[in-house]
Amino acid sequence: MFVDKAKILIISGKGGNGCVSFRREPFVPQGGPDGGDGGKGGDVVLRASHELRTLMDLKYKHKYKAENGQDGMKKKCFGKDGEDLVIKVPCGTLITDVETGLPMADLVQDGDSYVAAKGGKGGKGNTHFKNSVRQAPDFAEAGERPVEREVILELKLIADVGLVGFPNVGKSSLLSVSTRANPKIDNYHFTTLEPNLGVVRLADTEFVMADIAGLIEGAHEGQGLGYDFLKHIERTRVLIHVVDVSGSEGRDPKEDFDKIMNELASYNEKLLKKPMIVAGNKTDLLQDEAELGEFRSYIEGKGLKFFPISAAARQGIDELMYAALDELNNCAEEEEEAPEEWFDPEKADSYDDYVKVNVEFDGSRYKVSGRQLRKIFDSTNFNDTTSLRYLYKYLEKSGAIDEMKKMGLEEGDTIAVFDLEFDYVEEF
């Protein structure tokens, strides 16, 4: 089953907590703190792999979590870092952050990778909090919390040549007779409900050709299969526009050609700048040869090369494929236009946002929150006066106490730090 879009939730590993420990050895009274640091949490890494052709595996599993870092241990032993979680995706996968709507990375080549969520740093053990005044710190630093991020994965097929045209004009038949692909073929519209890939082998060279599902008028607005398949044309280097020149379905070949060109232009005008060859298919069903000559003149008048073929009778296929190969050899590698703005994880997880302390008054209490504050709060030993004083001093240094005083804080008022509530006193 071909799946070209999936939304997943990625969660990096939490950093391991620092250890609270003291040396306990014979003949070493009051040995001092020896708690080790926690390990770093694992990253979530997205990596392109040529082994995959679809996002099907990611469609039905929504949540992906990396391993947490191990907590620190006594005797200054560090905790083990959590293992990174590597998620494989097909080459040509665009990653977009759901919250901001900004693209994060475009994994085109095999092996391209992107760290979509960094693991939390490990917390420091209580050895780091010893000083001349605090000889036996009974607290350590908690590991950083994991990063949770919802992302959209969107696959745009990477092919050298793309087949475009109305439904039932013979694109799948052309792919089957020119490659070893085995697409579904039948005499009704939208037989092809997903792009098919095949490898064309000519002498000592080869190229990848994609059968893009049939387009209809209004496809750029989502009609028919619309956006689902127009996007797959963007990364093809050469287009073969297949037209039913026999008019077997009662349509005029010229009108079919113009309508598809209008759809390509409406979706993205740059598609018209790609090298294009027109293949007039179903010549074996033609009743009047003069109509073929008229259509050839119409196409060549637009500066395009025209090849009459019959995929069913296997006529003219080699000439068409060699013409496509010539176009591939002559066209320069196209550089896809980069988005104006990319998602910046450093900006999303900036230091200023990390240390910022938020203060609000709900009418009865002053509520304080913040990312770094949360880390210090998680590190606090509420049974230890020294540890509580450390938390309070952080509130003072961060400017939170001064901010609350401007809002009317007085001695005896209630301050809520997450789920901890206490009465404010001037001297702690």
What CATH number does the domain containing 87 carry?
Answer: 2.70.210.12
Tell whether 169 and 137 lie within a shared domain.
no
Cα angle, residue 52 at apex, residues 51 and 58 outer, rounded to 5°:
140
- Are 281 and 312 in contact by the 8 Å Cβ rule? The answer is no
Query: What pLDDT does 225 receive?
Result: 47
Query: Residue 372 pLDDT > 90, yes or no?
Result: no
User: What's the whole-number mean pLDDT along residues 250-258?
Assistant: 89
% of residues, the chain, pLDDT over 90? 38
Tell whether 2 and 149 lie within a shared domain.
yes
Q: What is the pTM of this model?
A: 0.70
Query: What pLDDT does 196 receive?
Result: 77
Query: What pLDDT does 188 receive?
Result: 39
pLDDT digits (tens, 9 = 90+) for 353-369: 777 889 999 888 999 99
Amino acid at 181: A
What's the rounded Cα separation, in Å, for the pair 391 and 88? 42
Tell whether 2 and 143 lie within a shared domain.
yes
176-190, 273-287, 372-386, range with the lowest pLDDT: 176-190
Query: What pLDDT does 16 receive?
Result: 95
Q: How confident is the model at residue 123 (pLDDT cuts 50, 70, 90)?
A: very high
Query: Residue 192 pLDDT > 50, yes or no?
Result: no
User: What's the whole-number mean pLDDT along residues 112-135?
Assistant: 89
Query: Residue 223 pLDDT > 60, yes or no?
Result: no
336 within some domain: no
Number of domains within the chain: 3
Tell whether 223 and 301 lie within a shared domain.
yes
Query: What pLDDT does 381 receive?
Result: 82
268 within some domain: yes
pLDDT digits (tens, 9 = 90+) for 314-337: 999 999 999 999 999 988 766 666
What's the rounded Cα separation, in Å, for the pair 293 and 284? 14
Tell whether 64 and 182 lie within a shared domain.
no
Tell whether 303 and 353 lie within a shared domain.
no
Tell whether 117 and 138 lie within a shared domain.
yes
Query: What pLDDT does 173 receive?
Result: 87
Q: Which residue range forms the structural domain that includes residue 133?
A: 1-155
Tell whether 278 and 187 lie within a shared domain.
yes
What's the rounded Cα separation, in Å, for the pair 307 and 172? 17
- Are 242 and 279 in contact by the 8 Å Cβ rule? The answer is yes
Tell whether 144 and 194 lie within a shared domain.
no
Tell whether 170 and 308 lie within a shared domain.
yes
Tokens of 98: 């759901």
What's the rounded Cα separation, in Å, for the pair 236 and 162? 6
Place of tokens 């709900």: 362
Out of 155, 175, 190, pick the residue that ends a domain: 155
Pick the more confident residue, 67 or 410.
67
- Are 213 and 193 in contact by the 8 Å Cβ rule? The answer is yes
What's the rounded Cα separation, in Å, for the pair 47 and 295? 47
Query: What pLDDT does 216 receive?
Result: 53
pLDDT digits (tens, 9 = 90+) for 100-122: 889 999 998 999 999 999 999 99
341 within some domain: no
Q: Whole-number mean pLDDT of the chain?
A: 84
SS3 163: strand
How many residues make up the chain in this entry? 428
User: What's the whole-number mean pLDDT along residues 393-418?
Assistant: 89
Where b means 16+ CB within 10 Å and e means fewer, 53-83 reads bbbeebbeeeebbbbbbbbbbbebbbbbbbe
Q: Which residues pair with 344 in a beta bridge?
A: none
Query: Residue 81 pLDDT > 90, yes or no?
Result: yes
Tell whether 72 and 148 lie within a shared domain.
yes
Tell whether 140 and 208 lie within a shared domain.
no
Alpha carbons within 13 angstroms on the beta-carbon side of residue 116 total: 35
pLDDT digits (tens, 9 = 90+) for 224-237: 444 566 777 888 89
Query: Exposed, middle or buried by CB within 10 Å (0-12, 13-18, 19+), for 228?
Result: middle
Query: Residue 187 pLDDT > 50, yes or no?
Result: no
Q: How confident is the model at residue 172 (pLDDT cuts 50, 70, 90)?
A: confident
Q: What is the largest CA-CA distance in the chain?
A: 109
DSSP 8-state secondary structure symbol assigned to residue 126:
G
